[in-house]
């Protein structure tokens, strides 16, 4: 098999990982991802191999599927990365893999790629490696010494779904490397804090994970509670939500009309709300209402359910509450806080604060003066309905302004 054929197969097989969006058929193996500083970076995104010992129900590469299989050698991935990098096609490598022979054997090969790039070739680009569930902690540690980011994919949001749909994996084989990565990262940061000349050298861009949405019966509330715990307990940088795309005919999987992209989008928005807007998952949903509203963004939905909080006086309300006003985001909140230190804000100032005036105005008063015409609850809902509900990386820009 030629290198081009391998790239076609193993670049295509890697496309289901949401942490790096594939660029499409014209660019096999190239994807874009977001760096820590918010820059969009291009990466060579490939599997080391799509041979797999495991038989996860939802996966195109599972053991029981037919289809072309391929495997790179360590040298091939290293040379491809350097070749693409020198031609300015990419700024780094995203390497994942099926599990061939054993988790250790697979992880060893991936570490060998990263080690060769860093130590033998002096490669200074970005490296994102998947940690293979069940791999020896020594190999996970070695991976963190060479990679910028590590990720262990949870895939399914509960132990019972994992047992039903990915019976070869265990929750412990996923959470153990996550815990280890969190601990090693904290240690590396502590060492760097005491020795200022040292750059923290364990996966300095942290770790991420991915959850499939819609392949198993967990509610949005279950998913959000789990991801919020992952952020707080394991210091994750990002949880990626990936709408389930049916690729296998398997009775254990639901029959969906299409991938639940709206649901995925609302989960990203909610994730953003508890990471940056001070919401908790249990404020956004509750056991009696465990799914996000597909028509309304979760912040607007919360505001409509809490009329007792509004109107907020723009000249007096605490900053944390201003963030909860539909039509205001962190940038407009900052502008409001800065402006009101020197003058009283008036209704006509709202636009200059970067607010979406139509959405924000019904929720604000100006030194006691509320909106002259207050919409009914139904009209307010109609005003707040977000017709776009489009897929967009929520790391970029203000989704709620
Ligand atoms: S271990 Fe990964 S590659 Fe293998 S079947 Fe499961 S999801 Fe697919």
What is the average pLDDT score of the chain? Answer: 90
Gap from CA of 98 to ligand 1 centroid (Å): 5
Chain mean position to CA 94: 15
**Residue pLDDT, tens place only, 305-350:** 999 999 999 999 999 999 999 999 999 999 999 999 999 999 999 9
Residue nearest atom 2 of ligand 1, based on CA coordinates: 98
Query: 284 CB under 6 A from ligand 1?
Result: no
Query: 61 CB under 6 A from ligand 1?
Result: yes
Q: What is the pLDDT of residue 320?
A: 95
Given a cut of 60, is residue 18 above it in pLDDT?
yes
Gap from CA of 72 to ligand 1 centroid (Å): 17
Given a cut of 70, is residue 23 above it in pLDDT?
no
Query: 16 CB under 6 A from ligand 1?
Result: no
Alpha-carbon span 55 to 216, nearest angstrom: 16
Q: 289: exposed, middle or buried (C-beta count within 10 Å: 0-12, 13-18, 19+)?
A: middle
DSSP assignment of 94-128 equals EEE----S-HHHHHHHHHHHHHIIIIIS---SEEE
**Residue pLDDT, tens place only, 235-289:** 999 999 999 999 899 999 998 888 999 999 999 999 999 999 999 999 999 999 9
Q: What is the pLDDT of residue 200?
A: 58
The average pLDDT across 222-240 equals: 95
Output the pTM of the full model: 0.88
Query: 99 CB under 6 A from ligand 1?
Result: yes
Query: Computed over its alpha carbons, how large is the radius of gyration of the chain?
Result: 23
Is the distance from CB of 387 to CB of 296 less than 8 angstroms?
Answer: no
Q: What is the pLDDT of residue 314?
A: 96
Beta strands in 13-118 (DSSP E): 21-22, 30-34, 40-47, 92-96
- For strands 207-213 and 92-96, give the pairing: unpaired
The domains of the chain, with CATH numbers, are 3-259 (3.20.20.70), 298-384 (no CATH)
Query: 265 CB under 6 A from ligand 1?
Result: no
Q: What is the pLDDT of residue 399?
A: 41
The average pLDDT across 63-81 equals: 96
118/396: higher pLDDT? 118
Alpha-carbon span 166 to 59, nearest angstrom: 9
Gap from CA of 125 to ligand 1 centroid (Å): 27
Query: 62 CB under 6 A from ligand 1?
Result: yes
């Amino acid at each position: 098999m030629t290198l081009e054929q391998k790239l076609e197969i193993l670049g295509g097989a890697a496309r289901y990982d949401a942490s790096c969006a594939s660029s499409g058929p014209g660019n096999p193996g190239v994807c874009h991802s977001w760096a820590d500083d918010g820059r969009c970076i291009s990466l060579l995104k490939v599997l080391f191999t799509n041979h797999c010992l495991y038989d996860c129900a939802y996966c195109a590469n599972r053991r029981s599927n037919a289809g072309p299989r391929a495997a790179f050698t360590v040298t091939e991935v290293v040379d491809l990365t350097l070749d693409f990098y020198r031609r300015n096609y990419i700024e780094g490598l995203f390497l994942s893999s099926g599990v061939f022979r054993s988790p250790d054997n697979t992880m060893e090969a991936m570490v060998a790629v990263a080690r060769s790039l860093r130590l033998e070739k002096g490669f200074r680009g970005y490296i994102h490696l998947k940690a293979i569930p069940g791999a020896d902690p020594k190999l996970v540690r070695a991976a963190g010494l060479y990679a910028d980011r590590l990720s262990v994919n949870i895939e399914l949001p509960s132990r019972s779904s994992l047992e039903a749909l990915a019976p070869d994996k265990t929750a412990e084989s996923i959470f153990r490397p996550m815990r280890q990565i969190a601990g090693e990262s904290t240690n590396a940061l502590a060492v760097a804090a005491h020795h200022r000349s040292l750059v923290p050298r364990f996966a300095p861009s942290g770790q991420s994970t991915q959850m499939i949405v819609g392949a198993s019966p967990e509610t949005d509330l279950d998913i959000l509670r789990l991801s919020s715990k992952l952020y707080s307990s394991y210091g994750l940088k990002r949880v990626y939500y990936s709408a389930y795309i049916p690729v296998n005919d398997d009775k254990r999987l639901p029959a969906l009309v299409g991938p639940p992209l709206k649901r995925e989008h609302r989960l990203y928005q909610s994730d953003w709300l508890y990471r940056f807007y001070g919401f908790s998952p249990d404020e956004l949903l509750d056991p009696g209402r465990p799914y996000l509203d597909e028509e309304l963004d979760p912040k607007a939905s919360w505001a409509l359910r809490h009329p007792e909080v509004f109107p907020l006086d723009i000249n007096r309300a605490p900053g944390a509450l201003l963030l909860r006003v539909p039509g205001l985001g962190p940038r407009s909140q900052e502008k409001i806080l800065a402006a009101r230190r020197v003058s009283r804000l008036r209704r006509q100032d709202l636009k200059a604060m970067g607010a979406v005036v139509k959405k924000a105005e019904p929720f604000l008063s100006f030194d006691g003066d509320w909106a002259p015409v207050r919409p009914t609850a139904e009209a307010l809902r109609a005003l707040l309905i977000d017709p776009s509900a489009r897929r967009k990386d929520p790391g970029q820009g203000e989704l709620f302004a």
